[in-house]
């Protein structure tokens, strides 16, 4: 029988030899946790480490998380891990859901609005995918290369995305990983070393004159508010994210222009874009200016609203119309911008098209025109002022 007068240091126990005691699950009503003891060199004694599980609502859920945590902690302790010698590893047991919440808050504080929407969307896809897994990852340390590869395969195969979208997600995962490394949630970037896929040239095509007429006739009869959105894209070249942020007060009807704030502009500069007569007439027909000036021009169902909508409503509604008209997927909502730049350049010149598109140089505008390799025959016989 052990001598009760001996101190814990004097007892010849497994804990004294190993330097730790295996984790144990405790369920004491409101206090539910997993704890274990491990030797702390700085203290010179065994020290208890506790992980609370109170936030899980059901007993079954608490037990499931406890079993996973115990298995992981046991494996780490047996491999020589000591939480007191490497305090940073403790953060690797932070839950992924909590990390994504913190990351989203960080993005909202530091990024412009368009980037915020982009990253929020990717975080949502991340959550949906993880929750659909047979065994979702729970903690930061489980966010590894295997998970990243499987997630990227999900984007490419299950969501039927192209190589470009998959590569964009890979870049975002690398950025997220660096953010996590900086906060000691993980030690290495699991997206590093994963090669990009070859990207085919963009297949988006501009619309023909006949297609524009078909679009106009169809929407004029069935959906005038979405017709307004399409004409805005065609005549103003304003990006969908910017369209979703325009308020009625931003429209200067007498001057026939609309204000684009630097807050959500891609070039991060305030600017004005001209409004075509056709746009003005349709807005008056739809009584747009009868709504409060603080309303967003395009709300739910493309009707002015005090509540902002996500920019993806334009593409979603476009796909329905495209299917009805029997067009291929190479014709996209953004094809209206390609078409508008082409038609304006042909009518008024490339410089005017450049300024309306808010491009910094003609080269960017030419990309929309497909004119980067064009040689005009007129240049071959041009005499100029020297002859």
| Residue recorded with tokens 């005549």 | 235
Asked whether the beta carbons of 341 and 353 are under 8 A apart, the reply is yes
pLDDT at 314 exceeding the cut of 80? yes
pLDDT on residue 77: 86
> What is the mean pLDDT of the segment spanning 126-147?
89
pLDDT on residue 28: 78
When mean pLDDT is compared over 35-49, 104-118, 278-292, the highest value belongs to 278-292
- Cα separation, 136 vs 123, in Å, equals 15
- Cα separation, 341 vs 235, in Å, equals 8
pLDDT at 9 exceeding the cut of 70? no
Asked whether the beta carbons of 93 and 140 are under 8 A apart, the reply is yes
Which two tokens mark 88? 């940073």
pLDDT on residue 275: 84
- Cα separation, 207 vs 186, in Å, equals 48
> What is the mean pLDDT of the segment spanning 152-170?
87
Specify the higher pLDDT residue, 14 or 202. 202
When mean pLDDT is compared over 90-94, 152-156, 177-181, 252-256, the highest value belongs to 177-181
> What is the mean pLDDT of the segment spanning 139-162?
87
pLDDT band at 171 (very low <50, low <70, confident <90, very high): very high
pLDDT at 85 exceeding the cut of 50? yes
Percentage of residues in the chain having pLDDT higher than 70: 82
Specify the higher pLDDT residue, 41 or 97. 97
pLDDT on residue 111: 83
Q: What is the pTM of this model?
A: 0.50
Q: How far apart are the first and last CA of the chain?
A: 117
pLDDT on residue 362: 56
- Cα separation, 73 vs 245, in Å, equals 48
pLDDT at 281 exceeding the cut of 70? yes
pLDDT at 379 exceeding the cut of 60? no
pLDDT at 94 exceeding the cut of 60? yes
- 3-state SS track over 150-170: HHHHHHHHHCCCCHHHHHHHH
pLDDT at 277 exceeding the cut of 50? yes
Window from 85-89, 94-98, 215-219, 353-357 with minimum mean pLDDT: 85-89
pLDDT at 63 exceeding the cut of 70? yes
pLDDT on residue 163: 86
pLDDT on residue 13: 53
- Cα separation, 69 vs 37, in Å, equals 15
Specify the higher pLDDT residue, 42 or 213. 213
pLDDT band at 164 (very low <50, low <70, confident <90, very high): confident
Q: Per residue in 179-207, is it b (16+ CB within 10 Å) or e — as a string? A: bbeeeebbeebbbeebeeeeeeeeeeebb
Q: Per residue in 23-51, is it b (16+ CB within 10 Å) or e — as a string? A: bebeeeeeebbbebbbbbeeeeebeebeb
pLDDT on residue 89: 61
């Amino acid at each position: 029988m052990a001598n009760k007068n001996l101190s814990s240091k004097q007892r010849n126990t497994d804990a004294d030899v190993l330097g730790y005691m295996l984790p144990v699950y405790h369920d004491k009503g409101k206090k539910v946790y997993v704890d274990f003891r491990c030797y702390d060199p700085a203290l010179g004694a065994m020290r208890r480490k506790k992980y609370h599980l109170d936030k899980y609502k059901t007993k079954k859920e608490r037990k499931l998380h406890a079993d996973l945590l115990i298995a992981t902690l046991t494996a780490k302790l047996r491999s020589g891990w000591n939480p007191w010698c490497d305090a940073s590893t403790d953060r690797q047991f932070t839950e992924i859901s909590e990390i994504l919440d913190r990351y989203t808050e960080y993005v909202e504080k530091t990024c412009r609005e368009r980037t915020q929407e982009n990253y929020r969307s990717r975080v949502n896809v991340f959550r949906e995918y993880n929750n659909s897994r047979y065994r979702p990852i729970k903690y930061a340390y489980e966010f590894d290369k295997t998970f990243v590869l499987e997630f990227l395969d999900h984007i490419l195969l299950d969501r039927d995305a192209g190589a470009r979208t998959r590569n964009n997600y890979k870049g975002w995962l690398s950025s997220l990983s660096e953010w996590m490394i900086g906060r000691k949630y993980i030690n290495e970037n699991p997206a590093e070393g994963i090669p990009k896929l070859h990207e085919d040239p963009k297949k988006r095509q501009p619309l023909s004159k006949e297609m524009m007429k078909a679009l106009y006739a169809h929407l004029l009869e069935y959906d005038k508010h979405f017709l307004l959105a399409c004409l805005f894209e065609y005549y103003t070249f304003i990006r969908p994210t910017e369209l979703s942020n325009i308020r009625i007060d931003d429209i200067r009807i007498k001057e026939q222009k609309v204000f684009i704030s630097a807050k959500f502009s891609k070039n991060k500069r305030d600017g004005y874009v001209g409004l075509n007569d056709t746009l003005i007439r349709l807005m008056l027909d739809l009584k747009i200016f009868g709504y409060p000036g603080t309303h967003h021009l395009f709300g739910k169902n493309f009707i002015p609203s005090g509540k902002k909508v996500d920019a993806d409503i334009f593409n979603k509604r476009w796909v329905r119309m495209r299917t009805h008209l029997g067009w291929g997927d190479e014709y996209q909502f953004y094809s209206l911008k390609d078409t508008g730049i082409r038609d304006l350049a042909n009518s008024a010149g490339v410089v005017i098209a450049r300024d309306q598109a808010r491009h910094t140089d003609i080269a960017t505008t030419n990309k929309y025109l497909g004119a980067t390799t064009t040689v005009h025959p007129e240049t071959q016989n041009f005499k100029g002022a020297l002859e």
